[in-house]
Amino acid sequence: MAAFHFELVSPEKLLFSGDVESVVAPGAEGQFTVLKDHAPVMTTLKSGVVTVAGGDGKVEKLFVRGGFADVSAAGFTILAELAIPLSEIDVAKVDADLKDAREDLADAKTEEARHAAAERIAQLQELRASVGA
């Protein structure tokens, strides 16, 4: 298979840069796969897993929450609001954080605090779902 250049960038750092054979991304309207010579497109991303397949058969998976995807003649770039390699996600910590967030929601005294806790719960649930079981 032919290779093309792919980069995944978050506000904190460049998480991936290199030549790959395919990338599956969670587009706002559904998952899509990019291969070499894909038609130019720009779209928003929803939370989910980006699967990167290299020419060496190695597959890397990264969780992204929001952002933009841009496919052009130069390659494919994802600018993510948040991006974490799945291999770096500590499931026990995510579960503990989720429990704490649910307690915060139950203890919230103001609408603002309830909203913040509910948003945190939704984000943690997305992260937890990305690593499965």
Q: For residue 89, what are its two tokens? A: 């996600």
User: Is the torsion defined by CA of 12, 20, 62, 80 positive or negative?
Assistant: positive
Contact by Cβ (8 Å): 68, 45 = yes
Separation in Å, CA 69 to CA 19, 97, 104 = 16, 29, 34
What's the confidence (pLDDT) of residue 41?
94
Per-residue pLDDT tens digits for 105-131: 899 899 999 998 898 888 888 888 888
Q: What is the pTM of this model?
A: 0.81
List phi, psi (to 5°) of 68. -130, 150
Burial 90-124 (b: 16+ CB within 10 A, else e): eeeebeebbeebeebbeeeeeeeeeeebeebbebb
Burial 35-74 (b: 16+ CB within 10 A, else e): beebeeeeeebbbbbbbbbbeeeeebebbbbbbebebeee
pLDDT at 10 over 90: yes
User: Is the torsion defined by CA of 18, 22, 26, 30 positive or negative?
Assistant: positive
Per-residue pLDDT tens digits for 57-113: 899 999 998 899 999 999 999 999 999 998 888 889 989 999 999 998 899 899 999
How many CB atoms within 10 Å of residue 79? 17
Q: What is the mean pLDDT of residues 51-55?
A: 90
What's the confidence (pLDDT) of residue 1?
63
Q: What is the mean pLDDT of residues 19-47?
A: 94
